[in-house]
Amino acid sequence: MAAKRKPSPATPSTQAAAPRTADETRGQGDELHQQAGGEHPVLTTNQGIPVSDNQNSLRATPRGPTLLEDFVLREKITHFDHERIPERIVHARGSAAHGTFELTKSLAKYTTAKILTEVGEKTPVFTRFSTVAGGTGSVDTPRDVRGFAVKFYTKQGNWDLVGNNIPVFFIQDAMKFPDVVHSVKMEPDRGYPQAGSAHDTFWDFVSLTPETMHMIMWAMSDRTIPRSLRTIEGFGVHSFRLLDAEGNSTFVKFHWRPKLGIQSTVWDEAMKLQAADNDFHRRDLFEAIQAGQYPEWDLAVQLFTEEEADAFPFDHLDATKLIPEELVPLQVIGRMTLDRWPDNFFAETEQVAYCPANIVPGIDFSNDPLLQGRLFSYLDTQLSRLGGPNFHQIPVNAPKCPFANLQRDGHMQMHVPKGRVNYEPSSLQADSPREVPDGFRSHGTRPDDGVKGRVRAESFADHYTQARLFFRSQSAIEQAHIASSLVFELSKVETAHVREAIVGHLRHVDPDLSRRVADGLGLDDLPPAPDAQIPPQDMPPSPALRIIDRMRDTLQGRAVGILVHDGSDAATIKALRKAVEAAGATVKIVAPKLGGAKLSDGKRLPADGQLAGTPSTVFDAVAVVLSAESGKLLSKEAAAVDFVRDAWGHLKAIAFDAGAQAVLKAGGVGKDAGTVDAGDAKAFIQAAKVRQWDREKKVRMLA
């Protein structure tokens, strides 16, 4: 193993930045990297060629494009792309719909792409939303990033804008994409957990890869437990280029903004939604389209020049960074409406293939190293349904020298890899393969294109400043959610040094956050913070990064449940339904029996859902209208008690009449601004528009 080099001093963004070597870009993980102890076999390609750098792609210049001749990158990603059959390796669990995109503002000054210049033109689209970590049979509502991929069927060819509901990513270089996904997927020696990041291998990788810290703040926020696919934002993540007729370039970042606004659940609610309805988001999207409540998003752009980019206090080619809206404002240029559900799920949603390399004239790529890898990877991964990656194991093709790497699975896999670790860096297994200094190296200098090598620009070395910006921009409630999310996830991590390493990283993000997480984990002393090559800077808070303060004061697009039983007051129910529907929400009647209930006027009101199978978690607010006799009866029914207890615990508005008080008492429901008399429909509508955040400290212990 090569001796560890001292990190180079921080370089101000206004000065020329020196390239970083493989030893320097490894970050602060070397000591933990070796903590498992023991001798490591040499990391090789499948042809037995020793690998000298498993951290950085081969580039023409430190900030230049990634080179196709990088056979180490190509073999590694090729094998990774073919590891799952036949479903997608990531984003396997998806829902999609047809629709149209209409341009409302021309960008003819910047591009020749007709999709971005012809105002009023309606272009067909097919949009797929997805979770990242789980398989096709997993559930809709885990804590996870959501994919947001749009295929534009333009007159100049297909343009695929393939992104997520978070504007940044875990890693800076495509070389590390297999590692981060390996770490978050099911652990290889035990096959669990499914669709969850709360386990050792993921947090081990995070603890050794400080560039993940900004994305971790987003992942631990309420962004990853959305209320609906209709209420998530979408981001193209990378910087792209727009080209005008003369070939002049303007950088662009793409943003999708939902017309219904951003909405999220709370963590306990998200967990219970998994039990209530595995298909909650898919069903919500389907029912909205079937009801004619077509989801809409505005397409907005951030436009900036090369000179403006050079003046940013961060590198816009670094996918772990965002450009604050306060620095480069958003311009809305169009609108997407989804108005038709696929005719056949497999033929359309499952078989659709997106690729960031699918662009039209007038749009081009930046040198973002993560994007550069995606341009190759997406097309290659689609080959998994036609062939397999393990041809090198056929005897005539197999190397005659030892070979070892972290590539796994696929068609005709003949090897039986053992152990827990299939990613790198890691600290959990003593005999996992490692790169060596005397492995294959490319020629370092050419007179025609300057320095070429596996380097990472010094401007990418700040891993903590924007993580700090994100956390400190959140409201106190959202900060508590992030701290509590970290405590929950790290409490699932069995390896003590991994937990402690994460808390150490958090000291760079925010000292109070690290202390709160340490207290939640029961650590008496704060672990030391790792050395930061570039110390985190304090940036002005960005309110645009919050959710709660930006939630819209509306009920539009939401659902309200009314629990009734025999003898419930018909006039009260009628008034509530009228007010809720006038506010743009859907009303669903819940009763102990699916046949409904006979109301006070002697008429039977059919139920939309049976109480035992329709918990309050599927609604945004609830009302309980009962006769005194029914209230007394349901106060002994667990499903009714849970209906109000969960609504109270999930900070939802609750309307109730005199007969319902027995049920509320049994459910431990207290009094606050969100509990209102069912006869005051106006007060209920106002309370139902928001979560009752002041209640949260009464119902749960937050970090």
Domain CATH number, residue 658:
3.40.50.880
Among 183, 189, 246, 185, which Cα is nearest to 209's?
A: 183
**Residue count of the chain:** 703
Within a domain: residue 528? yes
Residue 605 lies in a domain: yes
**Tokens representing residue 341 in the block:** 């559900």
Secondary structure string (H, E, C) spanning 600-647: CCCCEECCCEEHHHCCHHHCCEEEECCCHHHHHHHCCCHHHHHHHHHH
Instruction: List, in sequence order, every residue forming a beta bridge with 97; answer none if it has no partner.
Output: 127
What is the structure's pLDDT at 285?
98
Task: Say whether 91 is catalytic.
Answer: yes
Q: Which residue has 């994305």 as its token pair?
A: 215
Residues 482, 580 share a domain: no
Residue after which a domain boundary falls, among 499, 517, 549? 549
Over the stretch 305-343, which tens digit does the pLDDT of each residue have? 999 999 999 999 999 999 999 999 999 999 999 999 999
Segment 27-68, tens digit of pLDDT: 444 444 444 556 899 898 887 788 889 999 999 999 999 998
Does 75 fall in a domain?
A: no
Which helix (H) or strand (E) segment holds residue 271: the answer is helix 267-276
CA atoms within 13 A on the CB side of 67: 19
For residue 413, being part of any structural domain is answered with: no
Residue 296 dihedral angles phi and psi, to the nearest 5°: -135, 150
The predicted pLDDT at position 49 comes to 80
Domain count, the chain: 3
Q: Catalytic residue among 33, 91, 281, 508, which?
A: 91
Residue 350 confidence (pLDDT): 87
- The pLDDT of residue 316 is 97
Report the sign of the C-alpha dihedral through residues 588, 580, 649, 664, in that order.
negative
Domain-embedded: residue 486: yes
User: Do both 563 and 538 map to the same domain?
Assistant: no
Is residue 510 domain-shared with residue 573, that is, in the same domain?
A: no
Domain boundaries, position 199:
94-371
Q: What DSSP assignment string belongs to 167-199?
A: SS-S-SSGGGHHHHHHHHS--TTT---SS---S
The answer as to whether 488 is a domain residue is: yes
Domain shared by 366 and 350, yes or no: yes
Task: Give the alpha-carbon dihedral of 11, 13, 14, 17, to 10 degrees.
Answer: 50
Are 497 and 590 contained in the same domain? no
Catalytic residue status for 158:
no
DSSP of 382-425: GGGGT--SGGGGSTTTS-SS----S----TT------SS--SSS
| 183 shares a domain with 133 | yes
CA atoms of 243 and 263, how far apart (whole Å):
35
pLDDT confidence of residue 385: 63
Identify the pLDDT of residue 30.
45
pTM, two decimal places: 0.81
- What is the model's pLDDT at position 162? 96
pLDDT value, residue 158: 87
Q: Are residues 363 and 262 in the same domain?
A: yes
Separation between Cα atoms, residue 399 and residue 75, nearest integer Å: 15
Q: Specify the DSSP element, H or E, that contains 77.
A: helix 71-81
Q: pLDDT at position 89, please?
A: 83
Task: Please say which residue of 549, 570, 605 terminates a domain.
Answer: 549
User: Sign of the C-alpha dihedral, residues 646, 648, 654, 657?
Assistant: positive
Partners of 676 in the β-ladder: 655
Shared domain check, 544 and 558: no
Query: How far is 307 from 309, CA to CA, in rounded Å?
Result: 5
Predicted local confidence at residue 549, as pLDDT: 87
Q: Which residues of the chain have pLDDT under 50?
A: 1-18, 22-23, 25-35, 386, 445-449
* 323 shares a domain with 186: yes
**Are residues 174 and 161 part of one domain?**
yes
| Whole-Å CA distances, 126 to 70, 95, 153, 337, 512 | 34, 11, 8, 10, 44
Domain identity same for 525 and 562:
no
Q: Does residue 509 sit in the same domain as residue 623?
A: no
- Assign residue 474 the CATH number of its domain: 1.20.1370.20
The CATH number linked to 242 is 2.40.180.10
The catalytic residue among 164, 165, 390, 422 is 164
pLDDT of residue 443: 57
- For 16, phi then psi, to 5°, come to -65, 135
Q: Is residue 366, in this structure, part of any structural domain at all? A: yes
> Which of 351, 371, 391 is the C-terminal boundary of a domain?
371
For residue 594, being part of any structural domain is answered with yes
d(CA 338, CA 102): 12
* Measured CA angle at 251 (ends 250, 255), to 5 deg: 125
pLDDT for the residue numbered 85: 53
